[in-house]
Structure 1
Amino acid sequence: MNQPEQIHEIGPMPTSAEMRALPRIGRILIEDGAITLDQLHVALRRQTASSERLLLGELLLNMKLVDTTTMLKAVARSLEIHFIADPSEGADAAVMKLLPEAMRREHRIVPLRLEQDTLVVATADPQNDHVRELAQRECGKRVRFVASPGDSLDAMLSNVVTEGAVQEKAQEIVNEMLDESRGGNYTLQEKQIDEMMGGSDSDDMGPVVKLVNFAICSAVEEGASDIHIEPDDGKMRVRFRIDGVLSNRMSPPWRMNAAISSRIKIMAHMDISERRIPQDGEISVRVNGRPIDLRVSTLPGKFGEKIVMRIVDSSGAQLGLEKLGFRSTMLDKFQKVIEQPYGIILVTGPTGSGKSTTLYSVLNNFDRTTINVSTVEDPVESNIEGVHQAQINPKAGFTFASALRSLLRQDPDVIMVGEIRDSETAQIAVQAALTGHVVLSTLHTNDAPSAITRLGNLGVENFLIAASLRGVLAQRLVRRICSSCAVARALDESQKTAMGIYAYQPGTPMKGVGCRKCRETGLKGRLGLYELMVPDEKMNDLLCGTCDPALIRNLLREQGFESLWDDGMQKVLTGMTTPEEVHDACRH
C-alpha cells in the first residue's frame, strides 16, 4: 500500500537557483510565506500525476494549503495588477452602466472607474482574457482588470440599487401608469384598483401596486425608518428618512396621488373613501424573507392626503446592548443598574432618540426562561420571544395605568411600561418598583437629571423617588462615520477649544469623504450618545430634602458625571462620529 506523501509545515528557504526553477505562482506564494517549498513540491508531483490537468493554483486550493484570497493576491502579483480587497471603495456608480447587468452578473465583473480611455474592472478571475475581450467589445474601451475577492464582488452586484437607480426605476413605473391612464383623471375607486393590481401575488400587477411595492422594498433595503408620501401644489414627492435625514427618492405626477393613497389604504385596512379626517393602520409584508411591519398614518391637507409609513423591523428588537454604541465603561455601569433586584430604571430623550430600541435590548438581556417579563406598550413595536406584550387601547379604557394595575396581579418579575405620561401611571410604576419588581420605562426629558424633576411634576413624592429610582439613562442618536471612506481629520485650534477636546483622552478624529456605500454623505448608520445617572446615598439625601435640581447637578459634576456631550466627544476622538453630529444632537 502506498503511503500518503507527508506535507511538511516548515522548511529552509530555497536557494535562488531553486526559486528560479519554480512556477511563478508557486514562487510568489513561497515569498509571501503562504506555503513552503516542500508543500509546493508535493503539489507539483500531484499535478504531474493527475489526469485532470488542474492548474497549480486550483490544486493548492483543493489541498487547502491556501485560501482563495491568498491565492488571488498571488495571481494579481504574477499578472502585475492591483489587488483590491473592497472594490466598492472609490467605485464610480456612473460607470456601472458601461457594461450590461446580465454581463456583470454572468461573468462576476464590476466596472469601477474610467482612467482616461481605460475602464478599470474588478474580477475574481483576472486571468480570463476571453471575458476581458468581451467587455472591451461591449464598452468600446480598453479594459484593465484588477483582482478582488468574489464575495466582495457578489456584495456589490447584489447591493441595494443606488439613489439614481431608485428614481429611474420609479420613473419607469410612473410612465407605465401614465400610459394606462391615457391622459385621463387617475382617481380610481376601490373596485378599479383591485382589478388593476390583480392581487399582491399576481405576476401581472398594475403599475400603482408596483410603485407602492417598489417604494416599500427600496426603503427597507436602504435602511429607512420612514416613508413620506407628500402631495404638493401640482406635484408629489416620495421621501425616505435614512439615519434621521429625509431625502427625495421619487416624484410621481400629482394626479397619481389618489390612486397611490387608495392602494396604501387598502393594504392598511383603512376606509379608502374617507379623505376628510386622519386615519391610522398597519401593513405587514415580507421583504427578502424578513417580516416587516409598517405603521401607516394619513393626514388631510390642502393638496391631498399626506401619508407617512413608519417601518418597524423586528430584527432591531434583537440587538444586544453592546451593539448600541455604549463605551465599555458606560456599558459595564449600565449592566450593574439593570441587574438590581428591584427598582425603576428610566430611559429619557426626545422622540426618535432610540429609547424603545434600548428598552428592547434591556429586555433581551434578561433570562426570560426563569422569570416573568411583561410589557405595556403603545403600540407594540416588535415581538420579543418569551415576553408577554400588551398594547393599550385608550378608547376601550385600557390605558397605561389600568394595564399596569392588571399586570401587577400577573406575578411579574420585570415590567416594561412604554411611557410614563401621567400622574397615575407614574404613581403605580413607582409603587411596583418598591414592591419587588424591576420597572423599565421612558420619559420625555432632555437629560438624565431632569427625570427627577419630571417625576416630581407628575406627583411622585421625593422620598419615593429616592427609594425606587435605580438609574436614568439619557440618550441621543448621531450618524456614524462611514467605515468604507473614513480618513483622519485635522482639527484647528479654534475647533479644539470649542469642543473642549483637551479634557478628554487623546485620539484621532475621522471624517467620511463620501463613497457609494454611504451615498456620498460620508456617514452611514447611527449610534447612541449616552449619559447615565445612578443615584447614590448623597443624592438620595438631596432628594429627601429640598430636591433642588441645581444641587443635584453640582453633585453630579463633583462625582465626575459624564454628560451626553462628554460621551459624544469621546466618540469623536475614537473616530466614530463627527463634532457636527454631536453638536446637533446635544442642542435638543
Structure 2
Amino acid sequence: MATLPSPPSTHLSGLARSLVQRGLLTEKDAEDIQTQARGAATHFVSQLVLGKKLGALEIAEFAAQTFGYPLLDIDAIDTGSLSMNTLDIKLMQRHRVIALYQRGNRLTVATSDPTNLQALDAVKFQTSLAIDPIVVEDPKLDKLIHHVLESNDTSLGDLGDEDIDLEFTDDEALAEKNAEASTEIDDAPVVKYIQKILLDAINAGSSDIHFEPYEKLYRIRYRTDGILYEIATPPLAIKEKIASRIKVISKMDIAEKRVPQDGRMKLVLSKNRAIDFRVSSLPTLFGEKIVMRILDPSSATLGIDALGYDPDQKEYLLHAIHRPYGMVLVTGPTGSG
C-alpha cells in the first residue's frame, strides 16, 4: 500500500514550511538554515539568501504570491518620504521591518517575511495602528535599514545606557551642576528614566512632553501631530524627584514650588546635533505640572521649494527677502512652525 509523503515539520517557520511544501527546499535544508539563522542571531530569509539556496527576488515573489501580499521594488521609493519616526530603531533592526507610509489608522510596512507575525504584532503594539505588510527583497531591505540608521545621528539604543551631555550655558549653572553631582548618584534611576523619556520623545517626533501629577496617579504624555498620547505612568513616589531633576537641568529654582517658573536646557546628542527644550512649571493641587517644548532645528530644514508656494508667490517672497531693508513677518498659531 502506497504511503503518503509526510508533511513538513511543524517547528519550521511559516515561510520555510511553505517553501518545503512547494518543493523549493528540502525539509533538511530548511531545518539546517533555520538552525543556522538562530545561531547567527539573524532571520530565516537572510540566512536563506546568504546560503544561496534561493535568490532574493525569487523568495520575495514566492512570498507575495503564496500569502497574497503586494510585491515592491524598494529601490523605486523616495527614502525622504519614509515615516522615519514611526518605528523605534531597535524594533526595525530586531524584526527587519520598516515603515513606508501611514494613511489614517493604517501603516504600510516593508518586510521580507510576511509570515513573521511576531514582527507585525510588535509594530502594531508600538504604533496602535492596523498593519498592511508589503513584501520586499531582503538585501534591499537590509540596505534601507542601514540607510535609516546612518541618517539617524543618535538613537535611543546608542544612548539608553549612557549619560546625556547636558550643555549649560553659564557659570552659575555649571556650579549648580557640580553641586548636584553627588546627589544624582542616589537618584540614578530617575536620571536615566528622564533621559529615556526625552530620547523617546525626540525619536517619536513629538513637540511637547507633559509631566502631570494627580491625586492617585502620575502620568507622562507626548504631543505628536497635535494630539496628546499617554506613554507612561511612573509611581507617585518619584514625582518630586522627577520635578526636581527637570528643574535643576533647566536652571529653575528647585526650592520654589508655589509659583510658575520658566527655564530652558540644551541636550547635546552628538557633535552636529543639539536639541533645545523650553520648560515651564505650574503648581497644582497635587504637585508641579511640567511641560517641555522640544525645539529641534533639524526638523525644520526645509527649502523654499518644499513650502508649496505658487511660482508667483515664491517670486514675491524671494524679492522681499533680498531687499536690503524691511522685514518679512511669518505668523501663525503656537506650534505651527
**What TM-score, normalized by structure 1, do the two folds share?**
0.31
Show the 5 A alignment for 1:218-367.
218-287=200-269, 290-316=273-299, 318-354=301-337
User: How far off is 1:251 after superposition?
Assistant: 1.4
Whether 2:187 is the aligned partner of 1:194: answer no
The one-letter code matched in structure 2 to 1:216 is L
Tell me the SS of whatever aligns to 1:345. coil
Whether 2:72 is the aligned partner of 1:84: answer yes
Cα distance in 2 for residues equivalent to 1:122 and 1:259: 42
Query: Which residue is equivalent to 1:584?
Result: none
User: How far off is 1:276 after superposition?
Assistant: 1.3
User: How far off is 1:214 after superposition?
Assistant: 0.8
Could you say if the C-alpha distance between residues 262 and 84 of structure 1 is closer, same or farther in structure 2, counting changes exceeding 3 Å? same
- Alignment check: 8 A CA contact 2:57 2:137 kept: yes
User: How far off is 1:296 after superposition?
Assistant: 1.3
Show the 5 A alignment for 1:100-179.
105=93, 109-110=96-97, 122-123=111-112, 147-148=137-138, 149=140, 150-154=142-146
User: How far off is 1:240 after superposition?
Assistant: 1.3
Tell me the SS of whatever aligns to 1:334. helix
Cα distance in 1 for residues equivalent to 2:205 and 2:301: 16
- Alignment check: 8 A CA contact 1:85 1:152 kept: no
User: How far off is 1:323 after superposition?
Assistant: 3.0
- Alignment check: 8 A CA contact 2:213 2:239 kept: yes
- Provide the identity percentage: 36
Tell me the SS of whatever aligns to 1:241. strand
Tell me the SS of whatever aligns to 1:300. strand
Query: Which residue is equivalent to 2:14?
Result: none
Cα distance in 1 for residues equivalent to 2:145 and 2:181: 46
Residue deviations 1:369-389, cap 9 Å, x none?
Answer: xxxxxxxxxxxxxxxxxxxxx
User: How far off is 1:231 after superposition?
Assistant: 1.0
- Alignment check: 8 A CA contact 1:220 1:287 kept: no
Residue deviations 1:217-246, cap 9 Å, x none?
Answer: 011111111111111222111111222222
Could you say if the C-alpha distance between residues 287 and 339 of structure 1 is closer, same or farther in structure 2, counting changes exceeding 3 Å? same
Tell me the SS of whatever aligns to 2:333. coil
Cα distance in 2 for residues equivalent to 1:154 and 1:272: 43
Unaligned runs of 5+ in 2: 1-48, 78-86, 100-108, 118-134, 153-159, 161-179
Could you say if the C-alpha distance between residues 193 and 232 of structure 1 is closer, same or farther in structure 2, counting changes exceeding 3 Å? farther
Show the 5 A alignment for 1:503-582.
none
User: How far off is 1:316 after superposition?
Assistant: 4.4
User: How far off is 1:307 after superposition?
Assistant: 0.7
Residue deviations 1:327-376, cap 9 Å, x none?
Answer: 4443223222223343343333333332xxxxxxxxxxxxxxxxxxxxxx
Tell me the SS of whatever aligns to 2:295. strand
The one-letter code matched in structure 1 to 2:185 is E
Query: Which residue is equivalent to 1:559?
Result: none
- Alignment check: 8 A CA contact 2:73 2:136 kept: no
- Alignment check: 8 A CA contact 1:231 1:304 kept: yes
- Alignment check: 8 A CA contact 2:217 2:235 kept: yes
Could you say if the C-alpha distance between residues 348 and 282 of structure 1 is closer, same or farther in structure 2, counting changes exceeding 3 Å? closer
The one-letter code matched in structure 1 to 2:290 is I
Residue deviations 1:254-286, cap 9 Å, x none?
Answer: 332101001111211222222112222222112
RMSD over aligned CA atoms reads 4.5
Tell me the SS of whatever aligns to 1:305. strand
The one-letter code matched in structure 2 to 1:151 is K
- Alignment check: 8 A CA contact 2:277 2:292 kept: yes
- Alignment check: 8 A CA contact 2:64 2:71 kept: no
User: How far off is 1:215 after superposition?
Assistant: 0.8
Largest Rg, 1 or 2: 1
Cα distance in 2 for residues equivalent to 1:83 and 1:352: 39
Could you say if the C-alpha distance between residues 327 and 75 of structure 1 is closer, same or farther in structure 2, counting changes exceeding 3 Å? farther
Residue deviations 1:53-78, cap 9 Å, x none?
Answer: xxxx99xxxxxxxxxxxx85466458
- Alignment check: 8 A CA contact 2:184 2:191 kept: no
Could you say if the C-alpha distance between residues 110 and 350 of structure 1 is closer, same or farther in structure 2, counting changes exceeding 3 Å? closer
The one-letter code matched in structure 2 to 1:195 is I
